[in-house]
Structure 1
């Protein structure tokens, strides 16, 4: 009975977390807006205990900030915050790549990554890319980065890569959809694909420093995408939760 109650509590916590996260990411809860436990209970439709846990988890994700007087506030992010999060992710992925290179991998180990690259090559082959092509790229790119982390064979590093990628706007494809509306869109994907090839080559040749360096540089493509999208303004409408990013005046 106790085990069943615990499973039910976890299920309600996840439900509350997903409901509240969706409200934040879609703008239903605005940056700076205060959300109390009671309000969250009404919105999520679950009891206070799982709601309290869900709010704490969203704080850990970086989407909420605890208020000293009680409750939580929806966070906003400066462009610098986002750039720093991308840098953290690049640093952790660089470490994963270096460990993979230094510890050694076989061609068989990197085969799933090369399959990803082959599929991406097909997507970006046309001179003009569709919105659907960019959407498919997001999924393939996420798989490539996940496989790269796994090559480190280090559970602590894999966890830290996952945590870094979960930081607001720091995922490997965080600004790809915004990028799709830019004139440089296809060129940036071609450069990213070349980075992918180089890091596999470096890992297979046990060149740890080279593998680490290319992944740190690769993350900076996302930073470039952010700057281009912010400058163009319109493409930011395609970024999930862009409402949380404070727009600075030109």
Structure 2
């Protein structure tokens, strides 16, 4: 009963979640939040964990795009010297993406949110130590205002607007952000003409497609996220 609604909210909620994450990163870059190095670096680790959770979750519907997306992405690990093939077979639970892989990805999708929760607490603890950044650049306590009610109501309004759009999308156009190919049950004998990820992973897909060498593409993809950790060192403004 209403399982379809729960599934639609969960599926589209991932897209809304990544919209918030990318806006949060953009705001951090614009206002110089990266100067709080510990908070910023924990945030980058959180980004990795969230991306991993979203990827393993995308495999769970076990449609064509889920199956072949898992096949392509996990095969990238085979480029790791010495350990690559062993690591891929360990993740698969066999010699190809199969039911054992699905079971393992379900376990990862269940366990990773607990790691995300732990990292989020650490993220907030560091934020509490340093204080949150602000667009005005005010650092003195006399110029500050209480969080409640000035910001709590503002955050609550933003949350309500976000939930409104999520419910509207989930009820009226639940497949707007999905791939029609994923409605076809997984078939290892039929490869889809175009294998592409969800929109929030398109930047990674573009990097991998633009570099012919498999290992080079993986290193570039990893660097595209890890470069966020180097931004504090690149900051030259006083």
TM-score interval, normalised by the smaller of the two chains: under 0.3
Higher relative contact order (CA 8 A, sep 6+): 2
TM-score (normalised: structure 2): 0.28
TM-score (normalised: structure 1): 0.27
